[in-house]
Amino acid sequence: MSDSPLSAARVPSAGFSLFHYASPQTFFPLAGKLLWPCWIAALLLTVAGLYTAFFVAPTDATQGDSYRIIFIHVPAAWMSMVIYMAMAFWCAVGLVFNTRLSFMMSSALAPTGALWAFIALWTGALWGKPTWGTYWVWDARLTSELILFFLYCGYMALQAAIDDPRRADRAGALIAIVGAINVPIIYFSVKWWNTLHQGSSVSMTQSPTMATTMLTGMLLMALAAWAYTIGVALVRVRAIMIERERHTDWVRQLSQAGSNGDMNA
Amino acid sequence: MNWESAGQFWAMGGYGFFVWSSYAVTAALVAAELVAVSRRMRRARALAARDLALERMDASKRGRA
């Protein structure tokens, strides 16, 4: 991977239709348009998900109502893994095609990924206490998820520690791509090792109606988490675009439009 | 319907502490992230607007000189 000169970052990648939205000035307004659909979807899915979680899904025969943590725990754990893979993907794209937007996408995803990883660990601990009798155990699933949380933190800390954004991007990309090996380890940990953490799902086999409503609630909450994540990452990537490119013409025009009262610009 | 009263709902079959701590912390963190990210956006816009104003001031000074 040869280091490109800094000036390359300033050359807009116009001309390639495939990469049309790969340049910040074209992606910025698109991201802005996508925000409201994301927020509305997140809100509606959360309301539907919570209603299903608490009022439709019945009490579990073996775990009682403690199992209702699943409606946050599983979507959070899924998101923490999906976001890490997305980060690694964008970093790889950035290294290969040298597109500056890819690295911004990766940076924009990291805090939200860390948030979900923390929530997965937190809710897992609160679920572990009533079901296993302990908040924490060093088993493969829990430990690898904790490592995922540290990888997110490490990525953000490294990026924050390096002043030159180009170098920060490349250093961060190394963590993101090498750390991606941890994601399949988390996923398969319950198969590869004897873990206290259960396999796929909680007593979904009890009765078909039960399985359906519990699963529906979980999927609704997972979709809500997707919508929220996309929305919040889009806001952050827009902020990063302005922060990094505020001395370029397209941000100048944006600021001018903003001072004329057009905040959607 | 799973609950016969609000009290029963909040008790969560005796697991209220675990269930509600999970949901409350998640809600608080999501809210905090939304506040943080909108603040970051506002700060970025302000920074860009300030830089633009400074550039214009420089340009007009140079124009007069």
Considering only CB atoms, which chain A residues are within 8 Å of B55? 252
Query: Who has greater pLDDT, A212 or A1?
Result: A212
- CA A80 – CA A119 distance, rounded (Å): 9
pLDDT at position A138: 93
Distance from CA of A209 to the nearest CA of B (A): 14
Structural domain includes residue A2: no
Distance from CA of B40 to the nearest CA of A (A): 6
- CA A75 – CA A145 distance, rounded (Å): 14
Question: B37: domain range?
Answer: 12-64
Cβ neighbours of residue A180 closer than 8 Å, sequence gap 6 or more: A84, A85, A88
- CA A132 – CA A130 distance, rounded (Å): 6
Of the given ranges (A131-135, A150-154, A235-239), which has the lowest mean pLDDT?
A: A131-135
Structural domain includes residue B58: yes
Number of structural domains found in chain B: 1
pLDDT band of residue A3 (cuts 50, 70, 90) is very low
Structural domain includes residue A73: yes
Average pLDDT over residues A70-81: 96
How high is the mean pLDDT of chain A? 87
Structural domain includes residue A4: no
Q: Name the nearest CA neighbour of A35 among A227, A222, A224, A253.
A: A227
Angle between helices A140-161 and A165-179 (to 10 degrees): 170
3-state class (DSSP) for residue A135: coil
Structural domain includes residue A15: no
pLDDT in tens, A93-149: 999 998 889 999 999 999 999 999 999 999 999 999 999 999 999 989 999 999 999
Structural domain includes residue A18: no
Structural domain includes residue A24: no
Number of structural domains found in chain A: 1
pLDDT at position A202: 44
pTM of the model: 0.88
pLDDT at position A261: 58
pLDDT in tens, A5-17: 444 444 444 445 5
A236 to chain B: closest CA residue: B37
Considering only CB atoms, which chain A residues are within 8 Å of B9? 54
Question: A192: domain range?
Answer: 32-255
Of the given ranges (A23-32, A139-148, A188-197), which has the lowest mean pLDDT?
A: A188-197
Q: Name the nearest CA neighbour of A187 among A73, A89, A82.
A: A82
Phi, psi of A64 (to 5 degrees): 65, -145
Whether the Cβ atoms of residue A174 and residue A143 lie closer than 8 Å to each other: no
Considering only CB atoms, which chain A residues are within 8 Å of B58? none
CB A200: neighbour CB atoms within 10 A? 7
Structural domain includes residue B54: yes
- Indicate yes or no: CB of A129 within 8 angstroms of CB of B25: no
pLDDT at position A254: 86
The complex scores an ipTM of 0.90
pLDDT at position A201: 56
Between B23, B33, B44, which is nearest A72 by CB? Answer: B23
Structural domain includes residue B7: no
Select the residue from A255, A260, A262, A263 to test the B interface by mutation, using most B Cβ atoms within 10 A. A255
Distance from CA of A64 to the nearest CA of B (A): 7
